[in-house]
Structure 1
Amino acid sequence: MLLLSACSGNYSGGTATSGNNGGTDSGTPSKTVQEFFGKSAQTNLNNCRTCHVPGGVADTDEGKLFMLSSNPNEDYDNVYDSWIALDKGVETNKILTNPSDPAQHHSGGQPWPVGSQPYNALKVVLGCWENPDSCAALLASNVSTPTAPLALLGSARGGHAWFDFCEGKSDSTVLPADPRSLVQPGINANKAVYYNAFWKDCHREPEKVGEAAPAKTCGELRTLSAQGRTLIEGNGAIGAGWYFGGNGSKGNLTAAKYNTVWEKWGLPSRPDNFDQLVAERYGMGMGAARNPYPLPGEDPNKTNGGTGQLPTGLTQTHDAEGRWTGNIGTNCHVCHSGQVGTPADGPGLGALYGNSNSLSEFGQLDTDLGGSAVPGVPIPVPIIVGKTRGTNNALALQIITFLVAGDLRPLDPNFIGFTVFTPNGGSLDTPAWWNMGHRPTKFQDGFLAMDALRADFGFFLPGPGPDGFGWVKEHVRAGDTWLMSLKSPAFPGPINTALAEQGAVLFHSKNLWAEGLDNPSPKPEGGNGSCASCHGAYSPRYVNDSRYLDTPALEGVASYIVPRDLIATDKWRVDSDSEAAEQYGKEDFFAYPETINSDPNLDCSTQNRAEIRQGRAPGYLAPPLYGVWASGPYLHNGSVPNVMEILNPAERKSIWRRVSTPARFDQLGKVVMGYDTNFQRAYDKEKLGWKYDALACGAPGTTPYLDCDPANQDADPALGQMINILNSSNPFLWYLGLAPSTDQQLENRKIYNTHMYGQSNVGHTFTSVLNEQERKAILEYLKTL
């Protein structure tokens, strides 16, 4: 079948003749046709020119019969030649049918719907070529001026639309509706972008909730954001928050104890680069802003906090009078913030707040100090976070419900059964904060509504009960406002704009289930089958196309929970969010039980209960893709190191290890370094992700038959399968195992083994039907987001 495509197609066949320019023996007024072509049709060809040029993604054996050039002056001859090669005709010619008829499976979508100006204009031109005698009448009845298409490239870079709206406006300016609130049942029905999870207003009855309402003006937005920044950013600010202490003065450990941790590293003396080595060993970013603590012998109140520099995941506290305490608190950034390059690499780079910290090994700090960061724990209980450096299990639903909620239900056998036998969620990679303003639901599986703010402050909770819950209610709105203000950084390397534009067309228009592609995965129930169908629309050309979004305000909003068996990624996070977890979770303080309602559209508590889902299958939320280049590794469990391997599953490795920061020459073999965040040295600009080494079964750090099968690297070893079955039967077994006690054991935690429970790298195979050139184009486009 002959297929015309703005980015791909089949035009194999004969050789076109050229030079006619529309003139025939019967006397077609070729100059008039050319004038009409230049006035009414040629501008529309810029859409085709994105891909149908030499070197473009349509420059293939199949696409040779519709090719333009970079010179618009050649368009008339080139289109005429293509018309001849495609067997002439008018409404049956592929030049018209492929970009207008959805049945043609045009990879570039249907930019020229039947009856549109581009369609009608080219129909006149083809009519004149087909029947010169009728040309004068056709030209007389079809006078139209094309509209230049909107840009293919452009990005809000995440955040929330309110902050863009308020740029340069007065404090009294009233805010528009929250774009996320527009995502309601029925939104985008039959559109290219599909939604099946919807916004819930958890604060519609403020007297019940007892929390601050969202900002109504730009001034209120700025005030709340500034308050939230003080609380969450850290850096020793008065009022900075810390784990299990709110913003009190106690902290999780003292500077005196912190100053001795190098002794646990086996070093003979305190290294001169101690601060950097702390960040490396425990997997935290090192920010450029001052974040002080007192060195041995320093009085923090005589040295403005001290002359040491804490990594972003730690902050020094103050007492009620604003004096430095010398106590250090652990904050959100140990899991949620990391580092990409340095400020010298580009604006906004270096330590990045909320970029999904794939560096983290902060539980080792507890191990090295011989205690626990959790206040009130009388015996040393080091927190073992995840099975691999950079992952965590912060959403272990049973653990959260059991330990934090303050409602143990000890006499309820169903509750005991839930906590003991529901599967553990396994390893997780935290979603990026800068996408919060474009998500109506939160967490990997849409467990809670985005407006259910308290869950974001679960680890700030200064003890359960009214006092602790009251602290969360008092502070959570400000914290959430700052979080949703954050923007993703711009890609700091060069971008091939022409290739990125081709990627934009493919991303928004290519139906991955088109006839002939034989996609092995089942097709989602809605949308147009493109990447944008699940992940949202970003390009100005498509954001402003009513066939994609009901309103341009929905730019970048993603709210499709892909059924578990359709996305086919590691299932344990979804399965741990069982009906029992949902039912017990709905009464938890963090789930807004005040909103429980017989109307599922008003109930803001746990969102995956059967009565709330109303037939929607549990699954994983396709995230917005702002700053996706900076937020690897990928999938909900961080099992895929780069975006290229998301698009091409065949390239995924079973066992891999991200490269580490090189140690200083005099410290080689004496210290544990973290993952390398040097953009020039460690970032793979072609594949979009961090460089890594693939490991064979039996490589140091792996145990054959336990960690891998020597005979088949891709197969789960029999002993490992047995352990995985046990983990799937009890949420607590997954945590068993000793914390690393040697540097080598700590180094081994850098190995990502996809055979382990909760760490599979399968699924998201839709894109296996893309060819290499298409993948490169989409990757180049993703750099622009």
Structure 2
Amino acid sequence: MFVQTLLLASILAANSADEHPAPSNQDASAALRGRSALLAHSYLKAEWRIDAYRNAWKLWGTTSAPDPVADPDGYARAFADYYGLHPAPYDNEGLPMGLRWSKKADGTRTGFQVDCMACHGGSIGGKSYVGLPNSTVDYELLLFDLFRADGRKPPLVPFTINTARGTVNAGMMSVVLLSVRNPDLSRRVFPLLLGANLPELDAPAWWTLKSKATMYQDGRTPAASVRSIMQFLLADKSRSEFEALEPTFADIHAYIRSIEPPAYPLAVDAPRAARGKEIFERSCARCHGTYGPDRSYPSKIVPIDVVGTDPARLMGISDRAVEHYNASWFAEHHRVSPARVGYQAPPLDGIWATAPYLHNGSIPTLHALLLSSERPARFTRPPSTGLEHYDARNVGWNYQVVDPPDPAAPRKPTREAHFVYDTRRHGLGNQGHTFGDKLTEEQRMELIEYLKTL
């Protein structure tokens, strides 16, 4: 059940079709059903009792917190701030976005669980959005504290969940869940040894899904696959239950494809942005596509020796794991490609809101992405997503460079330690994508100004 809960908040990072067409009436109806299915229903049994939510504040090292019964809204805000969650922009029955009540058929609450919005529901400038990557969530701290608040020891997890706020290891969650199922989804007595070693990553923006032909960073899974976004149910559902739920998840898939990015909320220098568009179309469009009325997107997988970014995500999914997935119910209609090429250059819609950058979130601003000598090795994550922490000039989050820790110093508490992103960790390297280094500083700033408009 624990690994199931982990995966729920992350595995829906699927990416969809080749074009960016206007939705048909049928697609619009499916998207409306999918929104309700995703945001108003739960699919997993309760992981924690209600008192675990109410008692979590006792682990925060503070003498008081808003009373969860007398002041539920105040407590929800404090809870969200501590763990890096955000207010829900939909009716979530008093819980922060990312948590969901579990109920009996008569509506009685039995407890609660983590849902997809913990990683795929973010906030920027004081407003929350479904599909915006959550750049502040501390997933490991949240889950382990909930177990402690529920009077249970946190389970042993055979992989790194996250070492920094905003990252999560959905890939290993999926591999672990699939390792205890046979291809027909019957349960195994002993797990398969699939040999995968995937790192924690940054969640992608859901609004890019409609443009893609393949999903996930390595671009090996067809984006039309509905079953791939159902993997989080592996710890709970039978084959017949999967089949019964597939139409519901087809609607959820349609809803994800319907989401649009938020518009840049600050002033844009239009003449500078116009010059930046020319630079973009000359230097970036061949991989990232073009934007506007005649937009196009090539769904290009850039070879790893060309893009040069951290290869751990690409190399970490083993051939055995791919073979096992392809033999299963999930791949009956959409198989994962066995070819290991590189990373998919993503669409850049709403890129202003999706810092930090690269597939692993290792670069805090667009300016640092376009000037590799500026990238910090260890830096702080923002304390919140308010615009007071936003760097409008360089586009991204304000940060402080952090020195390497003193080996003789006491180990910092988890929450404090996870505010630091360390690019020396497995899969978190900030190398590669040095294409912007050839630009002049003026060209770089013009390009950044244009990227604000996407």
Do both proteins adopt the same fold according to a TM-score greater than 0.5, normalized to the shorter chain?
Answer: yes
Counterpart in the other structure of 2:335: 605
Q: Extract unaligned runs of 5+ from structure 2.
A: 1-14, 68-73
Amino acid at match of 1:533: R
Q: 1:402 aligns with which of 176, 179, 184?
A: 179
Q: Which runs of 5+ in 1 are unaligned?
A: 1-157, 167-174, 176-217, 293-308, 343-349, 510-529, 544-554, 596-603, 611-616, 661-675, 707-741
User: Is the Cα contact below 8 Å between 1:363 and 1:382 reproduced in 2?
Assistant: no
Cα drift, residue 290 of structure 1: 3.8
Percent of aligned pairs with the same amino acid: 30
For residues 693 and 759 of structure 1, do their structure 2 counterparts lie closer, same or farther at Cα, with a shift above 3 Å needed?
same
What is the match of residue 391 of structure 2? Answer: 684
Q: Does 1:356 align with 2:133?
A: yes
Contact kept? 1:437, 1:484, Cα under 8 Å: yes
Deviation at 1:261, TM superposition (A): 1.3
**Structure 2 length as normaliser, TM-score?**
0.86
1:630-779 → structure 2 map (5 Å cutoff): 630-660=353-383, 676-679=384-387, 681-697=388-404, 702-703=405-406, 744-779=413-448
Supply the AA of the counterpart residue of 2:222: A
Matched position secondary structure for 2:112: strand
Distance 1:637 1:367 in 2: 23
2:83, 2:128 → 1: CA distance? 15
Q: Please name the residue that 2:168 is paired with.
A: 392
Find the aligned partners of 2:318 and 2:372 in 1 and give their Cα distance: 28
CA deviation after TM superposition for structure 1 residue 471, in Å: 4.0
**Shift in Å at residue 633 of structure 1?**
0.7
SS of 1:224's partner is helix
For the residue of structure 2 that corresponds to 1:370, the secondary structure is helix
Which of 425, 445, 449 is equivalent to 2:218? 445
Shift in Å, 1:160: 8.2
- Secondary structure of the residue that 1:467 maps to in structure 2? helix
Determine the structure 1 residue equivalent to 2:11.
none
> What number of residue pairs does the alignment pair up?
427
Q: Which has the higher contact order (CA 8 A, sep 6+)?
A: 2
Q: Distance in 2 between matches of 1:385 and 1:259?
A: 24
Q: Distance in 1 between matches of 2:181 and 2:450?
A: 42
Among 151, 155, 160, the alignment partner of 1:381 is 155
Q: Does 1:271 find its partner at 2:58?
A: no
Match of 1:313 among 83, 98, 102: 98
Q: Is the 8 A contact 1:454 1:472 kept in 2?
A: no
Partner of 1:259: 54
Aligned amino acid, residue 504 of structure 1: K
Q: Is the 8 A contact 1:372 1:380 kept in 2?
A: no
| Offset from partner CA, 1:602-638 (integer Å, 9 cap, x none) | xx2112x14xxxxxx5110000000011011111111
Which amino acid counterpart does residue 346 of structure 2 have in structure 1? Answer: P
* Distance in 1 (alpha carbons) for counterparts of 2:241 and 2:148: 23
Does residue 576 in structure 1 map to residue 316 in structure 2?
yes
Find the partner of 2:92 among 273, 291, 298.
291
SS, match of residue 400 in structure 2: strand
Aligned residues of 2:118 and 2:134 also touching (Cα < 8 A): yes
Secondary structure in 1 matching 2:22: helix
- Relative to structure 1, the CA distance from residue 222 to residue 659 in structure 2 (aligned partners, 3 Å threshold; closer, same or farther) is closer
SS in 2 for 1:327: strand
Residue 434 of structure 2 aligns to which amino acid in structure 1? T
Residue 315 of structure 1 aligns to a residue whose secondary structure is: strand
Verify the 8 A CA contact 2:102 2:112 in the aligned structure 1: yes
Deviation at 1:451? 0.7
Alpha-carbon contact 1:556-1:624 (below 8 Å) kept: no
Distance 1:399 1:771 in 2: 46
Deviation per residue, 1:455-498 (Å, 9 max, x gap): 22222456243233224413210110111110000000000111
Secondary structure class of the residue paired with 2:348: coil
Task: Return closer, same or farther for 1:745/1:319 CA change in 2, 3 Å cut-off.
Answer: closer
- Looking at structure 2, the residues matched to 222 and 624 of structure 1 have their Cα atoms a distance apart, in angstroms, of 22
Q: Deviations over 1:527-585 (max 9, x none)?
A: xxx20000011144xx3xxxxxxxxxxx2424111111111111111001233332222
CA RMSD of aligned residues (A): 2.8
Paired residue type of 2:203: T
Which letter does structure 1 place at the counterpart of 2:314? V
Amino acid at match of 1:605: R
User: Is 1:341 matched with 2:125?
Assistant: yes
Once the two structures are superposed, the pairs formed by residues 13-52 of structure 1 within 5 Å of their partners are none
1:589 maps to which of 311, 326, 329: 329
Q: Please point out which of 622, 637, 640 is paired with 2:345.
A: 622
**How far apart, CA to CA, are the structure 2 residues paired with 1:442 and 1:161?**
11
Letter in 1 for 2:316: S
Please say if 1:477 is aligned against 2:250.
Answer: yes
Contact 2:52 2:149 in 1 (8 A): no
Structure 1's consecutive aligned runs of 4 or more residues displaced over 6 angstroms after TM superposition are 158-164, 407-412
8 Å Cα contact 2:139/2:165 also seen in 1: no
Q: Could you tell me how far apart the structure 1 residues matched to 2:389 and 2:110 are?
A: 36
3-state secondary structure, aligned to 1:165: coil
Q: 1:695: how far off?
A: 1.1
In the TM superposition, what is the alpha-carbon distance from 1:409 to its structure 2 partner?
7.1
Contact 1:402 1:408 in 2 (8 A): no
Query: How far did residue 311 of structure 1 move?
Result: 0.8
CA contact under 8 A between 2:17 and 2:213: conserved in structure 1? no
2:22 alignment counterpart: 165
Offset at residue 704 of structure 1 (A): 5.0
Corresponding residue of 2:8: none
The question of whether the paired residues in 1 share the 8 Å contact of 2:16 and 2:215 is answered with: no
Q: CA deviation at 1:690?
A: 0.9
Q: Deviations over 1:233-262 (max 9, x none)?
A: 2xxx3xx125xx1xxxx4222323311111
TM-aligned CA deviation for residue 364 of structure 1: 1.9
SS of equivalent residue, structure 2 residue 128: strand
Shift in alpha-carbon separation, 1:398–1:448, aligned structure 2, 3 A: same
291, 294, 299: which is aligned to 1:538?
A: 291
SS in 2 for 1:784: coil
Q: How does 1:484-563 map to 2 (within 5 A)?
A: 484-509=257-282, 530-540=283-293, 543=294, 555-563=295-303
**What is the 5 A alignment of 1:41-440?**
165=22, 175=24, 218=25, 220-233=26-39, 237=40, 240-242=41-43, 245=44, 250-271=45-66, 273-292=74-93, 309-321=94-106, 323-325=107-109, 327-342=111-126, 350-370=127-147, 380-381=154-155, 385-396=161-172, 398-403=175-180, 406=185, 416=193, 418-419=194-195, 422=196, 424-440=197-213
Any conservation in 1 of the 2:181–2:187 contact (CA below 8 Å)?
Answer: no
| Matched residue type, 2:302 | V
Closer, same or farther in 2 for the Cα pair 1:748/1:325, shift >3 Å? Answer: same
Does the C-alpha gap of structure 1 residues 567 and 160 become closer, same or farther in structure 2, counting only changes over 3 Å? closer
Q: CA deviation at 1:408?
A: 7.5
Q: Can you list the C-alpha shifts for 1:429-465, whole angstroms capped at 9, x where unaligned? A: 1111000000010000013100111222222456243
